[in-house]
Structure 1
Amino acid sequence: MKMDRIYGIFGLAALVIVAVAVGLAVDAGAYERKSNREKRVRVDVKPVQLTPGQPAKFEVQMNTHSETLGEDMVAVSSLKDNLGRIYQATTWQGSGPGGHHREGVLEFPKLADNTESITLIIRKVADVSERTFEWSVEH
């Protein structure tokens, strides 16, 4: 009886560990971080949320040692989906204009239910007309 209880506890603990490990692996690998480095400014972007019917959210980091990063991220950012629909950014929650390092979360309106892929377009950072980042949307 006591051994059954011990095996049950170990089995439950193993199940919890596996569930957490799988959850972290799925979350960490859901979307790849993409980078663009032009005109001495590196822009790194990773989707935080890309679910049809939900607002699209991206973690954005910009780094340079030669430019001032003063762009209004809402004004210079848009999304285009596989059917040509354009989504304008709605909010930027992160560091304000100025300096050499900026990071934050860029948010867009809800993606249409039939969205299969998206392209994030960031314009005019360090005089680069467009920086584009593409992902397939997981359903």
Structure 2
Amino acid sequence: MKLKIITISALAVIITVFVLSDKPRERLASDIPQQAQTMDSPAINKLETKTNNDGDLEISVSPLDLSPKSSEWQFDFVMSTHSIELDQNMTKSVTLTTDRDNKYTPLKWEGDPPGGHHRSGILTFNPISPIPKTIELSVRGIDDMAETKFMWVTSP
């Protein structure tokens, strides 16, 4: 009986030491500022989704990985309307412009084919180096709609 109590007590002490010794590591990881934890993923990776719903067309654009290490820059597009046909060639309808007024055309569109009232897909560009301070996507040629622009600040 004494051996059983000693064994249970020893196990309890070992478990307690293990649990308590693991806590400082967890706290250390959580005490590291978020900026230091994400040094390999700069703020340019976290650019917000922009939405424009002028007129009968709603377009939402989300930049994906635009980091300096990325081999391509991608933008997630979602378009929705109930009055016009979305039959544009997206590689000809969209331009990416930097704060230095350099213009880039997309390499490819991977998504819904032309037609219909709802389209989504990924528009891919070559990466831009050095990273510009701002980027602007211009969408044109959809029905009689004026050019629609989406702008992001990529560096402080």
Q: Do 1:42 and 1:64's aligned partners in 2 also have CA atoms closer than 8 Å? A: yes
What TM-score, normalized to structure 2? 0.73
Unaligned runs of 5+ in 1: none
Q: Do 2:131 and 2:154's aligned partners in 1 also have CA atoms closer than 8 Å? A: no
Query: Identity, % of aligned pairs?
Result: 27
Q: Could you tell me which amino acid in structure 1 is paired with residue 139 of structure 2?
A: I
Separation in structure 1 between the aligned mates of residue 78 and residue 115 of structure 2, nearest angstrom: 13
Unaligned runs of 5+ in 2: 1-13
Separation in structure 2 between the aligned mates of residue 119 and residue 3 of structure 1, nearest angstrom: 56
Larger Rg: 2
User: Quick check: 51-60 or 88-97, which moved more?
Assistant: 51-60
Structure-2 residue corresponding to 1:79: 96
Higher relative contact order (CA 8 A, sep 6+): 1
Figure out how many residues of one structure are paired with residues of the other and give that number: 133
Structure-2 residue corresponding to 1:57: 74
Separation in structure 1 between the aligned mates of residue 107 and residue 28 of structure 2, nearest angstrom: 41
Structure 1 position 82, deviation (Å): 0.7
Structure-2 residue corresponding to 1:111: 128
Structure 1 position 65, deviation (Å): 1.1
Asked if residue 40 in structure 1 is aligned to residue 56 in structure 2, the reply is yes
* More strand as a share of residues: 1
Separation in structure 1 between the aligned mates of residue 102 and residue 69 of structure 2, nearest angstrom: 14
Q: 1:117 to 1:7 in 2, by over 3 A?
A: same
